[in-house]
């Protein structure tokens, strides 16, 4: 117990030094009685940042200023894996992260890494908000994390700095950055690329320096992170729908009074609707703004070639996430 408290104190001190050294000013105004530290690795222009700002306003308005957020965007307090670990340690109270690195903490989350799982966002919302999605959030209880809801990162696309890509064969020899998730690595190896994991907060520099030729992610995130400065080709593969699980520190949330917890729960629900609404148009707005980027829409036959290469990955996910869960998920998305 002493060691854990010491670790928390040390990390909290480090965070204070980082914030001071960078000159970063969080979005908090006057400190409320209950100030929740919220962090993420996205840009300050991201829909997730806007959702945290919405959540902060809702909490302050509904509690007469007693509860609010102090928001640290753009990996100010670490990359996604570090943020998850610091939710466990109690150094951060609220985060949103990609689901892929979360699988290292709860293997059930590997289920969302099955390529071409969801047909559209409506289907994705139904699964995430339904029994399977809530079951996955509850699986985090045993590892010191409170799963709250799912925001939307978006459908992931293939991007690169070399050429237009329409077939898996054109990926041959390409150095590709993936998330820190073995299923993603296996999937892109099956597609023909030469994949390797890298923390998201290190990605822009790696792309700029040519360490990687290709990467994958939602169009709006690509734009927010200014990847269009170093990558000029996007193939619309829609290979994975990527949610942003919103996570909390269990002790912080349990410390809220019954009244404040009810307000918090409703504010989280309202922020989810708000963020998803923003996300629905974010990709289109980002694409329209990036006139220098070549966007490629694949034909059904071209897309099927990618699906065929990735088909065996479902068996790998069964081993990681559990056969029963994966079979139920595949049955649900096949409807």
- Strand 294-297 vs strand 214-217: parallel, antiparallel, or unpaired? unpaired
Average pLDDT over residues 238-255: 98
Nearest CA-CA partner of 193 in 221, 226, 160, 234? 160
Q: Return the H-helix or E-strand segment holding 28.
A: none
Res. 2: pLDDT tops 70: no
pLDDT in tens, 69-106: 999 999 999 999 999 999 999 999 999 999 999 999 99
Amino acid 29: pLDDT: 57
Phi, psi of 39 (to 5 degrees): -145, 155
Amino acid 266: pLDDT: 98
Structural domains in the chain plus CATH codes: 2-322 (3.40.190.170)
Using a pLDDT cut of 90, give the percent of the chain over it: 91
Res. 165: pLDDT tops 50: yes
Using a pLDDT cut of 70, give the percent of the chain over it: 91
Nearest CA-CA partner of 296 in 225, 221, 232, 240? 232
Q: 18 or 245, which is more confident?
A: 245
Question: What is the pTM (predicted TM-score) of this model?
Answer: 0.90
Write down how long the chain is: 335
Residue pair 177/196 in contact (Cβ under 8 Å)? The answer is: yes
CA count, 13 A, side-chain hemisphere, 124: 25
Q: What is the 3-state secondary structure (H, E, C) of 194-226?
A: EEEECCHHHHHHHHHCCCCCEEEECHHHHHHCC
pLDDT in tens, 151-164: 999 999 999 999 99
Confidence of residue 31 (pLDDT cuts 50, 70, 90): confident
């Amino acid at each position: 117990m002493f060691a854990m408290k010491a670790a928390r104190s040390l990390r909290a001190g480090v965070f204070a030094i980082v914030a001071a050294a960078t000159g970063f000013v969080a979005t908090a105004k006057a400190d409320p009685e209950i100030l929740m530290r919220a962090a993420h690795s996205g840009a300050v222009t991201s829909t997730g940042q806007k959702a945290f700002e919405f959540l902060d306003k809702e909490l302050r308005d509904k509690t007469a200023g007693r509860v609010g957020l102090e928001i640290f965007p753009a990996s100010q307090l670490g990359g996604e894996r570090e943020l998850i670990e610091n939710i466990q340690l109690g150094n951060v109270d609220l985060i949103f992260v990609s689901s892929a690195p979360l699988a290292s903490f709860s293997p059930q989350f590997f289920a969302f890494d099955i390529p071409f799982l969801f047909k559209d966002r409506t289907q994705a919302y139904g699964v995430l908000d339904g029994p399977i999605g809530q079951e996955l959030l509850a699986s985090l209880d045993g590892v010191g994390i409170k799963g709250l809801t799912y925001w939307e990162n978006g459908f992931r696309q293939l991007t690169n700095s070399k050429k237009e890509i329409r077939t898996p064969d054109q990926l041959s020899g390409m150095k590709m950055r993936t998330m820190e998730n073995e299923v993603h690595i296996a999937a892109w190896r099956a597609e023909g690329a030469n994949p390797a994991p890298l923390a998201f907060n290190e990605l822009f520099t790696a792309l700029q320096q040519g360490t990687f030729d290709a990467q994958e992610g939602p169009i709006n995130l690509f734009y927010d992170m200014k990847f269009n400065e170093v990558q000029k080709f996007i193939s619309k593969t829609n290979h994975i729908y990527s949610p942003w699980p919103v996570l909390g520190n269990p002790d912080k949330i349990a410390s809220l009074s019954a009244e404040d917890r009810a307000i918090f729960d409703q504010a989280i629900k309202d922020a989810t609707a708000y963020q998803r609404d923003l996300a629905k148009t974010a990709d289109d707005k980002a694409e329209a703004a990036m006139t220098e980027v070549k966007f490629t829409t694949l034909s059904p036959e071209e897309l099927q070639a990618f699906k065929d290469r990735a088909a065996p990955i479902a068996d790998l996910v069964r081993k990681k996430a559990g056969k029963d869960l994966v079979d139920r998920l595949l049955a649900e998305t096949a409807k």
